[in-house]
Chain A
Amino acid sequence: MIDFQFARAGNVADAVRQMAASPGAKFVAGGTNLVDLMKMDVEQPAKLIDVNRLPLDKVEEIAGGGLRIGALVRNSDLAYHPQVERRYPMLSSALLAGASQQLRNMASVGGNLLQRTRCAYFYDIATPCNKRQPGSGCSAIGGLNRMNAILGTSDACIAVHPSDMCVALAVLEAKVRVTGPRGEREIPFADFHRLPGDTPQRDTNLDADELITAVELPPRGFATNYTYLKIRDRLSYAFGLVSVAVGLDLDGGNIREARFALGGVAHRPWRKAEAEAALRGKAAGEAAFAPAADIVLRDARGFGHNTFKIDLARRAIVRALSQAARGTPQSQSNKKIA
Chain B
Amino acid sequence: MTESEPHASSPSRRPTRREVVAGGATVPIAMVPLTMSMPSDATAQPAARDGASPTVSVNVTVNGTRHALALDPRSTLLDVLREHLDLTGSKKGCDQGQCGACTVLIDGRRVVSCLTLAVMTDGASVTTIEGLAKDGTLHPLQQAFIDHDAFQCGYCTPGQICSAAGLIAEGKAKTPAEIRELMSGNICRCGAYTNIVAAIQQAMGQS
Contacts and interface: CB of A to CB of B under 8 A. Distances in A.
Interface stretch (A57-65, A100-108, A163-171, A276-284): A100-108
B115 interface: yes
Contact of B120 (A52, A76, A105): A52
B34 to A, nearest CB: 17
Contacts of A233: none
Question: Which of A7, A36, A100, A237 has most B Cβ within 10 Å?
Answer: A100
Interface string B69-81: 0000110100000
B190 interface: no
A102 B73 contact: no
Interface stretch (A27-35, A189-197, A206-214): A27-35
A101 B96 contact: no
Contact of B95 (A28, A39, A76, A105): A39
B185 A100 contact: yes
A5 interface: yes
Question: Which of B54, B96, B103, B117 has most A Cβ within 10 Å?
Answer: B117
Contact of B167 (A80, A99, A101): A101
Looking at chain B's contact residues, is the secondary structure mostly helix, strand, loop, or mixed? mixed
A204 interface: no
Interface stretch (B104-112, B135-143, B148-156): B104-112
Contacts of B100: 100, 102
Contacts of B186: 100
A50 B76 CA distance: 15
B42 interface: yes
Contact of A50 (B119, B166, B167): B119
Contact of A80 (B42, B76, B172, B184): B172
A28 B120 contact: yes
Contacts of B180: 236, 333
Interface residues of A, number: 32
Contacts of A7: 42
Interface string A320-338: 0000000000001111000
B1 interface: no
B120 A5 contact: no
Contacts of B52: 3
B73 A5 contact: yes
Given A5-B73, A36-B96, A237-B184, A105 B110 contact: yes
Contacts of B167: 101
A308 interface: no
Contacts of B95: 39
B59 interface: no
Contact of A99 (B53, B103, B120, B185): B185
Contact of A333 (B117, B175, B185): B175
A35 B172 contact: no
Contact of A5 (B53, B110, B172): B53
Contacts of A50: 119-120
A116 to B, nearest CB: 14
B202 interface: no
Interface string B154-182: 00000000010011001010010110111
A101 B177 contact: no
A78 B53 CA distance: 35
B116 interface: yes
Contacts of B178: 333
Contacts of B172: 80
B181 A102 contact: no
Interface string B8-19: 000000000000
A103 B167 CA distance: 13
B56 interface: yes
A199 B146 CA distance: 55
Nearest to A336: B177
A3 B186 CA distance: 30
Interface string B115-129: 111011010000000
Contacts of B111: 102, 105-106
Nearest to A48: B73
B185 A237 contact: yes
Interface of A: 1, 3-8, 28, 31-32, 35-36, 39, 48, 50, 52, 76, 80, 99-103, 105-106, 235-237, 332-335
Interface of B: 42, 52-54, 56, 73-74, 76, 95-97, 100, 103, 109-112, 115-117, 119-120, 122, 163, 166-167, 170, 172, 175, 177-178, 180-182, 184-186
In order of increasing CB-CB distance, the 5 nearest A-B pairs are A100-B185, A236-B184, A6-B73, A237-B184, A333-B181
22 contacts: A3-B73, A4-B53, A5-B54, A5-B73, A35-B117, A36-B96, A50-B120, A52-B120, A99-B185, A100-B100, A100-B185, A101-B110, A102-B100, A103-B97, A103-B185, A105-B109, A106-B111, A236-B180, A236-B184, A237-B185, A333-B181, A334-B177
